[in-house]
Amino acid sequence: MTDPQGLGRSPRFAQIASFARLPQSQDLSAAKGVFLGIPWDDATSFRSGAREGPSAIRNNSRLVRSYNMFAKVYPFRVLNIVDWGDIDPVPGFLEDTFQRIEAGLTPIFKAGVVPFVAGGDHSITLPILRAQKAATGKSVSLLHFDAHFDTWEAYWQTKRYTHGTWVKRAYEEGLLTKGNVFQVGIRSPLYDAQDVPNNAAIVHRTYTTEDVDANGYAPIMDQVVSEIRDDPVYVSLDIDVLDPAFAPGTGTPEPGGLSSRELIHFLRELYRLSVVGFDVVEVAPQYDHMGQVTALTAANALFEGMSAVARRRSTSR
Ligand code: MN
Ligand code: MN
């Protein structure tokens, strides 16, 4: 049973910063969840810097504590979460890095352990989904929080593997269940009017920020839950779904996003879904000029994801 080390004894700013100061281990025999980092940002299209995301999230996660009173759960204890460490990328070499990510994640999915991943730019989700399929032989539903579609065909005319193309690639590769791809928080300006129908050909439901304003999180999550039901679902959280006022530390910020509180409300509903993997990507702390608020929020988003999975496991259903 894991818990933050030295809680109550050692000040939260002391000691080596594993995620929430959980034990560091790659032993999957007892864990039901692991935290891991993927410090990679060579597939970004605007401001790079997400390679510093995992270390900044770990640093700020030291403030996270053991008990979630809203989920009524001790997520670290229920899931026996450890800090697995980082996947070593090969800076500048996307194919090699994707292979390392897939190779690193496959045994985790195979063991039925839920990975909680800190990116890294959003391209990392593609090899994570490849690992999921390789381990289980099955596609997954996708719940995708983002300001951007990420369903574009290519960047720089011919480059098909970037942080803005991974949803389309994952769909084409059969990693995602048809009709079970959902997006929340979309709002960015587009390259072309045709981007909207192109996205709709892949994504079953796209909830823009206007939809969030009109409905609030509860009916949106009701609909998502009623359609995904008990299918395994992967949750991918691009931190730029938040307004830059709440999360300036990211590569492609878009005004008019969710507040941190709105996002946490969405995440607290995830216990109603069968979440098999969760990532928080695009945290670039170099632009996080306000007391590392983006990395701190990402750490808390991971805590909420862990809490939701733990709540579902600890409640008889
Ligand atoms: Mn984005
Ligand atoms: Mn994205």
Q: Give the number of residues written for the chain.
A: 317
pLDDT tens across 54-103, in order? 999 999 999 999 999 999 999 999 999 999 999 999 999 999 999 999 99
Q: Could you list which residues have their CB under 5 Å from ion ligand 2?
A: 122, 146, 150, 238
First-residue to last-residue Cα distance in the chain: 23
Q: 240 CA distance to ligand 1 centroid (A)?
A: 5
Q: 149 CA distance to ligand 1 centroid (A)?
A: 8
Q: 228 CA distance to ligand 1 centroid (A)?
A: 23
Q: Which residue, 179, 233, 242, is CA-closest to 209? A: 242
Q: Which ligand sits nearest to residue 144's alpha carbon?
A: 2
225 Cβ contact list (under 8 Å, min separation 6): 269, 272, 273
Class of the domain covering 27-315: alpha beta
The domain limits of the chain are 27-315
Written as one string, the DSSP assignment of 62-101 is TT--S-BTTTTB-HHHHHT-EEEEEPPP-TT-HHHHHHHH
Mean pLDDT for the chain overall: 96
Mean pLDDT value of segment 112-120:
98
User: What three-state secondary structure class fits 256?
Assistant: coil
Is pTM, for the whole model, over 0.75? Answer: yes
pLDDT of residue 291: 87
